[in-house]
Amino acid sequence: MLLVDDDQTCIESLKTSLRSFSFINIVGEVNNAFDAICFLQKNGVDLIFLDIEMDETNGLELANHLKSTHPDILVIFVTGHPGFALKSFEVHPVDYLTKPINMLRLEKALEKVKEIKNPHTPKFDQKIGIKVSGGIRIVNVNDILFLEKRGRKVFIECDEGDSFDCSESMQTLEMIFSQYGFFRSHQSFLVAIDKIKAIYPDSFTRSYLIEMNHNEMKLPLSRNKYQELKDLLYSKGVHIY
């Protein structure tokens, strides 16, 4: 893996975060596109964490160059400004992360890399066991629409109106369900990204509302989570115009 960022502080921060992933091997770090090209001429790399905003040649231009010279190299964009999201996906990156990098988002991005590199790796079993009062509830993840924290309990809402409460904390559930495509839209909600039907502005609270498939409830989306959700949708091939 190669890290490319003109801010050395950002490189050091990213290196610290990446130490949590044992399968990651950082082979180099550079501060501009020219040095990145020179490095790649002499070293083999399968993944680049690439800053978009750099002097002279920016990350988007470098990524376009690499499409023809090193088409097998995967790219994860990193930027402090989420407005580049739509344009960045023209070069088909693995993912798009905004600074400061959230560890859960970083983990999701690296899971995508593993899936691309190992396409025959078995998928997660979609049936999981959730701790409930007095036992364990077996549920198919694909049946779950969202999780909602109500008071001290977390309720899991499924298709066909099925609902049950569980014994785990919202923080623990976020760690469990992030690998199954769920997003923390609000401090009290985890939603299944693939089951989002629509996103609307909520003029009353100056935030947003999420409409889910097969459910009439409008779920809250925090204003500071809106762009992150859009980026995730982009990464899943949903182009928003």
Q: Which domains does the chain have, with CATH numbers?
A: 2-117 (3.40.50.2300), 127-235 (2.40.50.1020)
Longest Cα–Cα distance in the chain: 62
Per-residue pLDDT of 206-220, as tens digits, reads 899 999 987 778 899
Q: Residue 168 has what DSSP assignment?
A: S
Give the residue from 214, 174, 209 showing the smallest Cα distance to 195: 214
Show the tokens assigned to 176: 């469990």
Q: What number of helices (H) and strands (E) belong to the chain?
A: 7, 15
- pTM for this structure? 0.53
Report pLDDT digits (tens) over 56-100. 888 899 999 998 899 889 999 998 877 766 566 677 888 889 888
82 phi/psi in degrees, rounded to 5: -65, -10
